[in-house]
């Protein structure tokens, strides 16, 4: 097998980061889903880019599209500064291309529009990954599996229970995990031979460079809205190409705990996003962000440490079972089981519980906030109550989910 560093040097990655994330509205009103904060200091896209970086893959194009400005800025100011000669993490977007203003029509069309970067790369392999999921993965293990099978395409697969498989694109495989058929959200999904589970597509692909160019050029003749799931994979199966599933459960990263194996979250709805964040503040969360052998990287910023002030009986600054990012000040108030993004300030006599505050949120005095997500830069006036009377929250213009999570958006400027 290739050594990991050889694989990294012989692979380029194309990260698809153009998703609107419509089910995460209003959090995605002004930002793409990959740019939504997660775990206080990170953005969702930091997870796939950290996986590439930790795997030694440091030639990465990030294909952005919808509300691309903040995402492009984040990549430029953080990921764009960490690479050296011949290495890069660069965002490219149809919004900023001079030769065309046409947006991507499908996942494969996005790669096709920038095929010149693939053709000029001299890379042996192309890793095509989505930019809007939370997980840790050593990509080199998937590439080695791809090489061992002499595959034309290898697709990362989640092993899911039969009752959940209908939400995904599901593969039929033989005993060697070679894919024989692909069905999108099937009513009666086919199980893995010898098991009572199914293989669901993660939307992450490994191609030999020459094969990728070949199938995209062929697919272009047939489909204007060329998509990997709808068109490319069925076309390759019909052609008899070697199409294999890679079981994500087999992927092991350094320092991984047993409960973290197979961790993958879509965070595509307010509820799933909230639950995945809240898991982080448990005593033993399923996703371990304190594994320094596989760090999640992001732009740290030049911020002072978090701070608590006042220790009077009725005015005590405390953070309990919480993530509190740099630059935060908990001033004579209580923060319990919450996540505070950078530069938040919680003023005296206030209580914040089971909530997620994005960057630069200010909570005024004598306020009570429960089970809320508060967007970047929002100022909560003195004496405000959120999360206790959901009908009043709706009348205030907040989004309230069926499970009672209150989303407080930024006001139009």
Annotated binding site: 169, 184-185, 201
Residue pair 104/17 in contact by the 8 Å Cβ criterion: no
Q: Can you spell out the DSSP letters for 287-305?
A: S-TT-TTSPPP----S-PP
Nearest Cα to Cα of residue 290 among 243, 337, 315, 256? 256
Q: What is the C-alpha to C-alpha distance for residues 53 and 187, in angstroms, rounded to an integer?
A: 38
Buried b / exposed e over 247-286, threshold 16 CB at 10 Å, is bbeebebeebeeebeebbbbbbebeebbebbbebbeeebe
Instruction: Classify 337 as helix, strand or coil.
Output: coil
Q: Can you spell out the DSSP letters for 232-289?
A: IHHHHHHHT--EEEEEGGG---TT--GGGTT-EE---SHHHHHHHHHHTTSSS-SS-T
- Residues in Cβ contact with 358 at an 8 Å cutoff, skipping those fewer than 6 apart: 37, 341, 373, 374, 375, 376, 377, 378
CA angle 152–158–162, rounded 5-degree value: 120
- Residues in Cβ contact with 69 at an 8 Å cutoff, skipping those fewer than 6 apart: none
Known binding positions for alpha-D-glucose 1-phosphate = 169, 184-185, 201
Rounded-to-10 torsion of CA 19, 26, 306, 277: -70
Q: What is the C-alpha to C-alpha distance for residues 25 and 31, in angstroms, rounded to an integer?
A: 10
Bridge-based pairing of strands 307-309 and 329-331 is parallel
């Amino acid at each position: 097998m290739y050594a990991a560093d050889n694989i990294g040097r012989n692979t380029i990655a194309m990260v698809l980061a153009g998703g609107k994330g419509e089910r995460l509205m209003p959090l995605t009103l002004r930002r793409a889903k990959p740019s939504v904060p997660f775990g206080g200091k990170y953005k969702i896209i930091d997870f796939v880019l950290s996986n590439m970086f930790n795997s030694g893959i440091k030639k990465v194009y990030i294909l952005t599209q919808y509300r691309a400005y903040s995402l492009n800025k984040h990549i430029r100011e953080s990921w764009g500064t960490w690479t050296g000669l011949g290495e890069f993490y660069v965002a490219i977007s149809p919004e900023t291309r001079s030769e065309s203003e046409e947006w991507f029509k499908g996942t494969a069309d996005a790669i096709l529009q920038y095929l010149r970067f693939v053709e000029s790369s001299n890379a042996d392999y192309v890793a095509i990954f989505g930019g809007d999921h939370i997980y840790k993965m050593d990509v080199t293990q998937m590439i080695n599996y791809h090489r061992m099978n002499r595959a034309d395409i290898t697709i990362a697969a989640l092993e899911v229970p039969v009752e959940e498989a209908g939400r995904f694109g599901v593969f039929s495989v033989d005993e060697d995990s070679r894919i024989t058929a692909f069905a999108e959200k099937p009513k009666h999904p086919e199980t893995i031979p010898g098991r009572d589970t199914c293989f669901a597509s993660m939307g992450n692909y490994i191609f030999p460079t020459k094969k990728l160019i070949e199938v995209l050029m062929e697919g272009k003749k047939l489909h204007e809205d060329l998509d990997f799931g709808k068109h490319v994979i069925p076309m390759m199966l019909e052609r008899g190409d070697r199409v294999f599933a890679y079981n994500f459960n087999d992927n092991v990263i350094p320092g991984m705990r047993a409960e973290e194996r197979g961790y993958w979250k879509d965070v595509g709805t307010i509820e799933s996003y909230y639950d995945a964040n809240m898991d982080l503040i448990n005593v033993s969360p399923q996703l371990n962000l304190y594994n320094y052998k596989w760090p999640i990287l992001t732009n740290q910023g030049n911020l002072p440490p978090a701070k608590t002030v006042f220790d009077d009986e009725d005015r005590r600054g405390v953070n309990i079972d919480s993530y509190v990012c740099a630059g935060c000040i908990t001033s004579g108030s209580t923060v319990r089981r919450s996540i505070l993004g950078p530069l938040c300030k919680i003023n005296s006599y206030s209580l914040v519980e089971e909530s997620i505050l994005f960057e630069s949120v200010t909570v005024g005095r004598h306020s009570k906030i429960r089970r809320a997500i508060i967007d970047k830069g929002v100022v909560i006036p003195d004496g405000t109550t959120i999360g206790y009377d959901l009908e009043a929250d709706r009348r205030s213009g907040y989004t309230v989910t069926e499970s009672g999570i209150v989303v407080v958006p930024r006001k139009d400027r």
